[in-house]
Amino acid sequence: MTLRQIVHLPEPILRKKAKPVTKFDKDLQTLIDDMIETMREAPGVGLAAPQINLPMQLAVVEYAEGEDEELEEGAPEPKKKLYVLINPEIIKVSEEKVMGIEGCLSIPGLVGEVERYEAIQVKALNRHGAPVKIKVDGWMARIFQHEIDHLNGELFTDKAVRVWKPSEEQDEETPLD
């Protein structure tokens, strides 16, 4: 596996709508593995193909509910869930929206307060081209929306009600992607 270089603003690809994936071959599987490794190394909880300079409708997400909370001594680590989203589409959203702080691997040094749907349902293809429907809520729903925005050339800063440079304490938090 190979670590891929994450591009930063003002790289033009970050503002373009990505093209659907149509070929499910060995090269795609290698790319997915590279993206997972790159996301973990960054570290982030999501990574979209445009962030590594590829105009493809492909994103990876890995997160465990409760991952950011203090664990009691001896408690097991929360189990992370890994998702590969190919040609994803949000097909259902909750009425409720929530505010939250987001960061992005492609916009280092900034965070913003963004309103997102509390719960969503996504239709996508998995890494082998099989159709999947995924229902997520809370922080996971926020991550999915953030990554799908990348595939449409949108960034969290476009939706943020305010953007700022975090203090030292906040810098320790993992950006969404």
Extended beta strands in 16-170, E state: 46-48, 58-63, 81-93, 97-103, 111-117, 119-125, 131-137, 160-164
- Backbone torsions φ then ψ of 102, nearest 5 degrees: -125, 150
Q: Give the residue numbers annotated as catalytic, written as ranges.
A: 147
For the four alpha carbons of 155, 46, 43 and 26, in that order, the dihedral sign comes to: negative
CA angle 64, 70, 75 (to 5 degrees): 75
Instruction: Name the token pair of 131.
Output: 């159709």
Helix intervals (H) in 1-100: 26-41
